[in-house]
Amino acid sequence: QCGNGLVLTPDFCIYRSGQPNRFRDSAPIRNIYRGASSLVVRSLLMEGAFESLTALRDYTAERIPSGKLSLGTVSKVAKALEEDRLLIRNEEGIRLADRRGALEKLLSNARSKRAVTLQGRTEMGLEEVGARLGAASQGGDIGPYTVTGLSSAGWYGVLSAAGPMSVYVGDVAAARELLEVRETRVFPTIELVEDRSDVVHFDRRVDGTLAWASPVQTWIELMKAGPREREAAAALESSLGWSGDELP
C-alpha cells in the first residue's frame, strides 16, 4: 500500500517502486480529547452517528476555520474511541455509544490557559463589534473570532449575561485597535482573549453579525466555572437532548 519496500527470495526480488507512502504516520494519537483530534469527538457528540469515516471527516472539516483534517486522523480517533468503549462501528456506520463518557473525557482534558487577555471599554454596540471583527477576520487581519462559551450562554438562553462580552480573537492588539478599546478593569464592556486554535472556533454559530461558541465549547466553559454556571450547563444539556440515555 505504501509502494516502498524490498523483498528477496532465491527466485526473484522486488524493490522500492518510488511511490509516496500513503500512511506516513501509523502511531496512535497521544490524546484524542485535546487539540484538533478532539473536534472529531465533538462532531460525534452533536450528530451521534455517521455512515462512514469519510462522512465524519467532511462534517468536522466543514466546521473548522482552517478546514484541515485528514481521514487518517479521523480513523485514529475512531479506533481510540472504540478502545475506550465510547464508539460502536459496524456495517451501518459509526455511532457514539456513551455520550456522558465522551463529555467527561473532553471536560477533563480541556485546556483553560489564556495566553493574552485584555479588558476595556468600547463605545460600539455588539452588532458593530461583530461586524467589524467579521470583516477583519475574512480579510485575514485578526484571524478567526468567536464569542467565548461563557459569554455565549445567554444566546443559548441558559444564563443571563453578566460582566463584559468576552471574545476569542487571533490578535488582541489588532482587535483592540479595530474596536477602539480603551483598556481598563473598571466596569469593562469587552474582554479580548487571544486564541487562534481551531478548538475554540470550531462549529461556531453565526447569528447576524455575531459568531457564538459551539454548544460543546459553551458546555465545557460553563462546567469549568462556578456553581451557577454548572447549573446553566445542565440546562444546556437538557435543551440539546443530552440529558437522556438515548443517543440520536
Summarised one tens digit per residue, pLDDT across range 93-152 is 999 999 999 999 999 998 776 667 899 999 999 999 999 999 998 877 778 899 999 999
Burial class (CB in 10 A: 0-12, 13-18, 19+), 234: middle
Distance from C-alpha of 180 to C-alpha of 122, rounded to nearest angstrom: 6
Report the phi/psi class of residue 33: left, alpha or beta, with left for phi > 0 and alpha for psi in -120 to 50. alpha
Q: Is 114:195 a contact under the CB 8 Å cutoff?
A: yes
| Grid coordinates given for 195 | 486564541
Burial class (CB in 10 A: 0-12, 13-18, 19+), 110: middle
Residue 182 parent element (H or E): strand 182-183
List, run by run, the mean pLDDT of 10-residue segments along the chain (248 residues): 60 62 60 92 94 96 90 94 94 92 93 79 93 86 89 93 88 94 94 92 94 96 94 93 59
- Sorted by sequence, the CB contacts under 8 Å of residue 174 that are 6+ apart come out as 136, 141, 142
pLDDT score recorded for residue 65 = 86
pLDDT score recorded for residue 26 = 56
Distance from C-alpha of 246 to C-alpha of 248, rounded to nearest angstrom: 7
Helices 38-47 & 53-62, crossing angle to 10 degrees?
100
Distance from C-alpha of 3 to C-alpha of 7, rounded to nearest angstrom: 12
Distance from C-alpha of 53 to C-alpha of 81, rounded to nearest angstrom: 13
Residue 94 parent element (H or E): strand 93-96
Q: Is 96:86 a contact under the CB 8 Å cutoff?
A: yes
Cross-strand partners of 194: 169
Closest CA to 44 of 108, 1, 88, 92: 88
pLDDT score recorded for residue 98 = 92
